[in-house]
Amino acid sequence: MLQSIDARTHEPFGQALPESGADDVNRAVEAAAAASDAWAASPAAARAALLRGLADALEGQREALVPLADRETGLGPVRLNGELDRTAFQLRGFADQVDAGAPYTCTDDPAVAGAPPAGRPRLTRVRVPVGPVAMFSASNFPFAFSVLGGDTASALAAGCPVVVKAHPGHPQLSRAVFELARGVAAAQGLDEGVLQMVQGAGIDVGVQLVRHPLIQAVAFTGSFRGGAALQAEANARPQPIPFYGELGSINPVIALPAALADKGAELAKTLAASIALGCGQFCTSPGVVVVQQDEASQAFVQAFAEALAAQTPHAMLTPGMRKAFDAGVARLTGHEGVKTLVAVDAAPAAVAPTPLLVQTTAERFTASHALREEVFGPAAVVVQVADADEAVRVLKAVGGSLTVTVWGAETAGDEAQRIVRAAMQVAGRVLFSGVPTGVAVTAAQHHGGPWPASTAPFTTSVGYAALDRFLRPVALQDAPAWLLERKGQAC
């Protein structure tokens, strides 16, 4: 049974919910598959109406959903109201994309008389929905990356039914949002298979879902370990399927002397607040800060340490996350050649952790994989480099990252170009001001990156290009008129 736990008192509350068994998973997937053809062939008006209806329903139930989410997560009503707003915004945003024809785009090459290569038949390139999608909810965003989050919204917009694997960290909220969504679908006369949900605390439910032969793609946001294991399951199927996993990263910040000399104290406070935001439980939380050894950079490190020590994060979302954070702290502080600048206070797992800041050299950082592993929580590593060449080596050692932030590259020059080039090679998003926490939902967004940040670096899990993950190209050669008249809408 799944039991909700009050995030502040750590006491159980509410009725325990049954976990999904193998038969439940099978029924959910079969229902999604039964609805698949009709939803794939659905017109823009139907898809947009569902997405907007879900957004309206979320907002309409705000007064009930936000307190429930707060009780299960302890994230606070301000944060959770903002997250609900974002979730409704992206649902409506995908509805707008559907209205604009994004899922139905097609490319038409008219026939040319004659033999190849100059001559050709008529070819029309369209995209078809892949079929039922398994979506794994994340713990740290109970609205925006959960039952009606971006993966669900983008898959529905693409014409794919969704089977949600709810996160066990907020089972009551997940059930409430799912029931809300079912009501919207029923009111619009849609097949209930368009959106299904399964729940379970162990790995069995998720593995069964990925292995099910009717599931045609997987969207996942979570840990590297969990995502890599599920990707292996997706690849081991008799019919391997796409696995779109966002696995987190350490999001380096390259702080060049020019920026620090100008506004180092301000940037120190901004960065400290970003690392402590949400108790560091964001996939875009900055985990590595690269500085040179000049006077302005060293003054920045001191101000940064002071600002981070003054932060007071809230408790972590689950005891498991706190245990993993404590293990990461021990790994960093116990590593040879690492100096602790801000130490974590020893405290029970139920108490909010204090931030950690350690410092090391570029040589040690690039040589040790242990220093480059993500610590999910309010922790960061300062890496001292001699010059731009060492900064580039640090970025290459990090490998794939969701983001890289470069401060001080406003003026073109060899040093700036080399660092920016390296940043673009390893990250899905490169920032030149601000901090990486906060991911805008927009057409130009890319939330992904080379392995190990994500399993599919050419795709994004945030922004309107996310629906491209669930549409497969098909070239129609000399198609009959009735098919071309559908203008990219599946038949």
**How does DSSP classify residue 284?**
T
**How does DSSP classify residue 166?**
-
Contacts of 166 (CB under 8 A, 6+ apart): 137, 146, 147, 174, 175, 178, 197, 198, 199
Q: Which helix (H) or strand (E) holds 48?
A: helix 44-60
Distance of CA 317 to the CA centre of its chain: 17
List the catalytic residue out of 246, 374, 390, 415. 246
Task: Output the furthest CA–CA distance in the chain (Å, rounded).
Answer: 79
Residue 283 annotated to the active site:
yes
Residue 246 annotated to the active site:
yes
Exposed/middle/buried for residue 211 (C-beta within 10 Å: 0-12, 13-18, 19+): middle
User: What are the strands of the beta sheet with 339-342, ordered from one edge?
Assistant: 339-342, 356-361, 379-384, 288-291, 252-255, 401-407, 427-431
Bridge partners, residue 476, by sequence: 124
- Give CA–CA dist 188/136, Å, rounded: 25
List the catalytic residue out of 72, 233, 283, 415. 283
Exposed/middle/buried for residue 98 (C-beta within 10 Å: 0-12, 13-18, 19+): buried
Distance of CA 104 to the CA centre of its chain: 25
**How does DSSP classify residue 411?**
S
- Give CA–CA dist 391/374, Å, rounded: 19
The catalytic site residues sit at 246, 283
